[in-house]
Amino acid sequence: MTEIVPRPVAATRPLAATVALWAGQVLFAALFIFAGLNKLFGLQQEVIDQFETIGAGVGFRYLTGGLELAGGLGLLVPRLAGPAALGLIGVMAGAVVAHLTVLPPATLAVAPAVLGVLLGLIAWGRRPQTKALIASRQR
């Protein structure tokens, strides 16, 4: 019986790219941890009002806040940064849809769209770690 053991992820990217990836992850982690806590604890009335406008209830605000908090924390763990970025892309896609449909003006959809693209770069940069994580879970 042969056991498949994932190889360690080798550092093949240039130092500048590694530093840029980490800087992006730390900045996005801070952003999403704050945004998640803001939604969970209702720190800004504007955020509470936006979720009331959406009409999905306070539970949806808590769900969104929890996803943002978990994603922000996940961005700080190299092994989890890729999946965390992918999950946050989903949250940002929902924000784009909300801004285009029920939260005017529609031009506010640009910010979560740009964040989603930048999160895609982080997910791409953490591809080797994500593959290793998936391989380790398939045993």
Residue 12 is predicted with a pLDDT of: 77
pLDDT in tens, 121-132: 999 999 999 999
Q: What is the DSSP string of 108-130?
A: GGHHHHHHHHHHHHHHHHTHHHH
What token pair was written down for 96? 């784009």
pLDDT at 13: 83
User: Which pLDDT score is estimated for 85?
Assistant: 98
How much is the mean pLDDT over the chain?
93
Residue 5: predicted pLDDT: 59
Query: pLDDT tens for residues 8-61?
Result: 555 578 999 999 999 999 999 999 999 999 999 999 999 999 999 999 889 999
User: What was the pLDDT predicted at 8?
Assistant: 56
Q: What is the pTM of this model?
A: 0.89
Token pair, residue 48, equals 């509470």
Q: How far is it, in rounded angstroms, from Cα 124 to Cα 86? A: 9
Q: What 8-state DSSP symbol labels residue 71?
A: H
First and final C-alpha spacing in the chain: 13
